[in-house]
Amino acid sequence: MVEKVGGFFTPKKNRDDQVRREISVLFGRRTLIFILVFVVLAVLFDILSDGIFISPRNLSLLLRQGAILAVLAGGVAMLIIMAEIDLSIGSAVFLCGLVAAQLTVEGNLPLLAVVLLTVLAGMTIGVIQGLWVVWLGIPSFVATLAGLLAYRGIGLLWTDASAVGPVPAEFIALSESFLSKPLSAALLSAVFLAAVVAIFLGLRRLRQSSQLRTNAPLPGGQAATWVLAKVVAVALPLALITWIILGFEGMPMALIWVGGVVAVLIFVMNRTVFGRNAFLAGSSRESALYAGINVKKTVFAGFVIMGALYGVAGVLMTARLGNSTPGLGTFLELDAIAAAVIGGVSLRGGAGSIVGAVMGAFLLTTINNGMSILNVPSFAQLVIKAIILLLALYFDAQVSKSRR
C-alpha cells in the first residue's frame, strides 16, 4: 500500500522509519548486549570481591575513574565518525595537564584562568594537528602519531622529566570533590525534567516530520512507544546514579564535567550542520564534496574541538593525581579508541554515537576497576583489554556485514 506525497509514491511503511531507527539506537542489539555485559560483570565482580564492587563507595570511585576516559572517548568518536583518527591523545593530555600544573604551581594564577588557558593550550594543539591534516594533506594517522612523540617530548624537556606539584586543594576539588546530597538530588531532578521536556519537543518535531513526509499524522501507538523508550533510556541511568550519590558523599564533580562535555558533543553531532556534515564526510568523502560540504573545514573544526577536550582531560587528570608526572596519559589514546570502538563507532567512518563511546568508556572502566579490586596483575589486564577490543571489532565487522 502506498500514499501519494507531493506527486511521488512513497511506501506507507516508511512513515515510522525514524521511530524504529531511534528506538533501535536506544534498545537495539548492541545496547542490550552492553546492558547484559554490565550486569554480568557487576554481579561477577561483586561475588568475587565479597560485596565490595556493588557498593555506593566503589561505584562513586568508578564514576570518577571513568570521567577522563569518557570525555576523550566522546571526542575521538567524533573524529572516527569523520573517518579520521587521533593517536596523540595521551601525550596531548599529558602536555595540557603539565600546563595546568605549571600555571597553578609556578604561575599562581586564579583557578578559572588556569582552566581556560589549559583548554586554550589544548585547542592550539588541535589547530596544529588540523593544519597538518587538512592543509598539508598528511594522513591523520601519521600526523597524530608524530604528535604522540612530540608532545610528550616537549613536556619532558620542559620539566627535565620531573613531576610538577602538588597542586592546591581547590584545584584537586575540580575533580575529586562532591556536591552535597540535596544539591545532587536537585540537579538530577532538573536533568530528568529537562530531558522529558526535550523528549516531548522531539515528539512534536517527529510528528511534524511525519506530517510533511506522508501527509498523515504519526500514529498514537508509535508516538507513545517512542516517548516511553526515550524516558526509560533517561530514567534508568539517572536512577542508578541517584542511588550511588545518595549512598556515598554526593555527586562527584568529575561526573558534572562528563555530563557537560557529553551534552555538548551530542548536541553538536546530532543537532547541528557540523554534525550532519561529519557523518556524511565519514561515510563518503566524494558524496560530501558533491553535496557542497566543505570537508576540510569540517575536519579542521573536529580537531579543534578534540583539542579543547585535551585541555579538559588534562585539568581533570592533574586534579585527580594532585600533580603532573612524566608518565601521565600513557596508553590513554588506546583506551579512548578502544572505548569508542566497543561503543559501536565504526573505524570505517560514518557510523557511531557519542553515547555509545561513553558507554564503552565506562565498560572499560568497570573492567579495570573490578580487576583492580581482585588484584589482577596489570600485565594481565592489558591482555584482557586487548581481547575485549578484538571481540568488539569482530562484532562491528559482523554488524557491518549484515547491513550489506
pLDDT in tens, 51-106: 899 999 999 999 999 999 999 999 999 999 999 999 999 999 999 999 999 999 98
Q: What is the pLDDT of residue 67?
A: 93
Share of the chain above pLDDT 90, in %: 52
Return the pLDDT at 236: 85
In this predicted structure, what is the pLDDT of residue 198?
83
All three cell numbers of 295, joined, read: 570537508
Nearest to 80 by CA among 360, 329, 287, 320: 360
Least confident of 200-204, 284-288, 384-388: 200-204
Say what the pLDDT of residue 352 is: 86
More confident residue, 339 or 7: 339
pLDDT of residue 145: 95
> How confident is the model over 171-194, as a mean pLDDT?
92
More confident residue, 303 or 377: 303
Taking the C-alpha atoms of residue 168 and residue 318, their distance in angstroms, rounded to an integer, is 11
pLDDT for res 212 = 46
**Residue 271 or 230, more confident:** 271
CA–CA separation, 334 and 331 (whole Å)? 5
Per-residue pLDDT at 28? 55
User: Binning pLDDT at 50, 70 and 90, where does residue 402 land?
Assistant: low
Considering only CA atoms, which of 166, 226, 184 is closest in space to residue 201? 226
Cα 37 to its chain centre, rounded Å, is: 19
* Rounded Cα–Cα distance for residues 276 and 287 (Å): 13
Please, which residues have CB within 8 angstroms of residue 177's CB and are 6 or more apart in sequence?
A: 252, 253
Q: What is the pLDDT of residue 222?
A: 64
- Indicate the average pLDDT of the chain: 84
If you average pLDDT over residues 329-356, what whole number do you get?
88
| The pLDDT value given to residue 113 | 94
pLDDT of the residue at 2: 38
Q: Is 327 left (phi over 0), alpha (psi -120 to 50) or beta?
A: alpha
Query: Is pLDDT of 3 > 50?
Result: no
Q: Is pTM, for the whole model, over 0.75?
A: yes
Whether the predicted pLDDT of 349 surpasses 90: no
Measured distance CA(261)–CA(198) in Å, rounded: 18
Task: Report in angstroms the alpha-carbon separations of 209 from 12, 87, 228.
Answer: 14, 40, 19
What number is the average pLDDT over the span 294-315?
95
Could you tell me the pLDDT band of residue 399, with boundaries at 50, 70 and 90? low
d(C-alpha 248, C-alpha 176), whole Å: 13
Omega of the bond prior to 326 within 30 degrees of 0, cis? no
pLDDT, position 221: 61
Q: What is the pLDDT of residues 223-256, one digit of tens each?
A: 677 677 778 878 888 898 899 888 888 999 999 9
pLDDT of residue 30: 66
